[in-house]
């Protein structure tokens, strides 16, 4: 058996085309979705990610309002800018790029974002709504994973899902999304982590195995059930002298061995990553629809 590759780039591209059409329809009604992105400091990875977001907005037709603030920006200055964007009627989504410089309090900044414009889905109000199954902005990476599964024809309902990793960004929200009593959910979910005894005994039960531990080769072939669907969320740099950069990106899954046992598998890069970006645009468009009295999907 050789696994079918789940092409996150292609699925994200398909969704981008769908959003482009949706934005065009909204503009005919006088509605222009707007996203404000705030970057503090000069972290290279964050700068690159923000550049991608700007380009994504342009491609889809979303109005993009971007702020690049110096590292020495104070907590008060940052929060004041967030409040300003909360009150800006042209803006439907406010995103503060994380991580912030160490002197800034990330929790306080995230709490300052209006939950109605929290397109990252991190505000406690939106997290709470997600947990109890109410409509809310869902965190982009977990929501992107669900879209990967659904659009690849994977049956989630009744599936045994094992998630390796319990972060607030991926593991916890994804588990909550998959156990909901609603379409594209109704799974039986096990969360494993660094204190789990005999990790393989859990992963080998999984119909859908999601690796989000942040460690190379966390999942090897002997830990995977034949025919399982494997989603690799990890992004790890390892040394590679054949690359100009001196490194290459790999996931948490031993891709070459696991693809011989799985029925489907995501690559790294090109799997989950592109979906995270597209779900941010999706949430921004949904926010614009809600702000103008249209129903949230």
- Dump pLDDT digits (tens) for 43-101: 888 888 888 889 999 999 999 999 999 999 999 999 999 999 999 999 999 999 989 99
Q: pTM for this one?
A: 0.94
CB atoms within 10 A of CB 34: 23
Say how far apart CA 68 and CA 82 lie, in whole Å.
13
Domain ranges of the chain: 30-114, 140-273
**pLDDT for the residue numbered 295:** 64
Full 3-state SS string of 145-176 = HHHHHHHCCCCCCCCEEEEECCCCCCHHHHHH
Mean pLDDT of the region 111-140: 96
Say how far apart CA 17 and CA 205 lie, in whole Å.
37
DSSP, res 219: B
List the single range of 45-54, 102-111, 138-147, 150-159 with lowest mean pLDDT.
45-54
**pLDDT for the residue numbered 244:** 80
Catalytic residue among 53, 225, 259, 289: 53
Say how far apart CA 87 and CA 92 lie, in whole Å.
10
Under the banding of pLDDT at 50, 70 and 90, the label for residue 237 is confident
Catalytic residue among 85, 117, 118, 120: 120
Residues paired with residue 37 on neighbouring β-strands, in sequence order: 66, 95
Catalytic residue among 56, 85, 97, 232: 97
Q: Is the pLDDT of residue 296 over 60?
A: no
Under the banding of pLDDT at 50, 70 and 90, the label for residue 222 is very high
Say how far apart CA 259 and CA 247 lie, in whole Å.
23
Q: What is the CATH number of domain 30-114?
A: 3.40.50.10860
Does the annotation mark 29 as catalytic?
Answer: no
Mean pLDDT of the region 270-283: 96
CATH superfamily, domain at 140-273: NAD(P)-binding Rossmann-like Domain (3.40.50.720)
Does the annotation mark 53 as catalytic?
Answer: yes
Cα-Cα-Cα-Cα torsion 128, 133, 137, 138, nearest 10 degrees, comes to 90
Does the annotation mark 97 as catalytic?
Answer: yes
Ranges of H-type helices in 93-158: 106-112, 124-132, 140-151
Average pLDDT, the chain: 95
C-beta of residue 44 within 8 angstroms of C-beta of residue 237: no
Token pair, residue 145, equals: 């994973």
- Per CATH, 30-114 and 140-273 having the same topology is answered yes
Q: Is the pLDDT of residue 168 over 70?
A: yes
Say how far apart CA 71 and CA 3 lie, in whole Å.
45
Q: What residues have CB less than 8 Å from 118, skipping those under 6 apart?
A: 93, 94, 125, 126, 137
C-alpha distance across the termini of the chain, in Å:
38
């Amino acid at each position: 058996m050789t696994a079918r590759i789940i092409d996150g780039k292609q699925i994200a591209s398909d969704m981008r085309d769908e959003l482009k059409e949706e934005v065009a329809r909204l503009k005919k009604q006088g509605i222009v979705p707007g996203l404000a992105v705030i970057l503090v400091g000069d972290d290279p990875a964050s700068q690159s990610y923000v550049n991608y977001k700007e380009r994504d907005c342009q491609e889809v037709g979303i109005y993009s309002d971007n702020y690049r603030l110096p590292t020495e920006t104070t907590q008060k200055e940052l929060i004041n800018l967030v409040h300003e964007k909360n009150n800006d009627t042209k803006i439907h989504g406010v995103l503060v790029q994380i991580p912030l410089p160490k002197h800034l309090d990330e929790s306080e900044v995230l709490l300052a974002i209006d939950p109605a414009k929290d397109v990252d889905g991190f505000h406690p109000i939106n997290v709470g709504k997600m947990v109890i199954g109410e409509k809310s902005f869902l965190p982009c990476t977990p929501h992107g994973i669900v879209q990967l599964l659904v659009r690849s024809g994977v049956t989630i309902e009744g599936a045994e899902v094992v998630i390796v990793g319990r972060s607030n960004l991926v593991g916890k929200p994804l588990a909550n999304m998959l156990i909901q009593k609603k379409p594209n959910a109704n799974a039986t979910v096990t969360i494993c982590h660094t204190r789990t005894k005999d990790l393989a005994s859990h992963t080998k039960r999984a119909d859908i195995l999601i690796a989000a531990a942040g460690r190379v080769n966390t999942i090897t072939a002997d830990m995977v059930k034949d025919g399982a669907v494997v989603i690799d969320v990890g992004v790890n740099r390892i040394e590679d002298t054949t690359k100009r950069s001196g490194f290459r990106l790999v996931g948490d899954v031993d891709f070459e061995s696991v693809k011989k046992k799985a029925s489907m598998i995501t690559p790294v890069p090109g799997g989950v990553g592109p979906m995270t970006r597209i779900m941010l645009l999706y949430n921004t468009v949904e926010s614009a629809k809600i702000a103008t009295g249209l129903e949230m999907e």
